[in-house]
Amino acid sequence: MYKKIFQQAFVASVLAALAGIIYNRIYFFATETDYSRVLNWKSIIGISVLVCMVFSFIYYGLTRWLKTKGEIVFNFIFSILSFASIMVPLSISLPLEVKFPELFPGLAVPMVFFPALAWFTVRPLFRHQFH
Give the model's pLDDT for residue 67: 87
Q: Give 1-57 pLDDT, tens digit per residue.
A: 789 999 999 999 999 999 999 999 999 999 999 999 999 999 999 999 999 999 999
Q: Give 52-110 pLDDT, tens digit per residue.
A: 999 999 999 999 999 889 999 999 999 999 999 999 999 998 888 889 999 999 999 99
How many structural domains is the chain composed of? Answer: 1
Give the model's pLDDT for residue 129: 53
Helices (H) and strands (E) in the chain, counts: 6, 0
pTM: predicted TM-score of the whole model, two decimal places: 0.90
**DSSP 3-state of 50:** helix
Contacts of 24 by beta carbon, 8 Å cutoff, 6+ apart: 39, 41, 44, 107, 111
CB 116 within 8 A of CB 78: yes
Domain that holds residue 88: 2-127
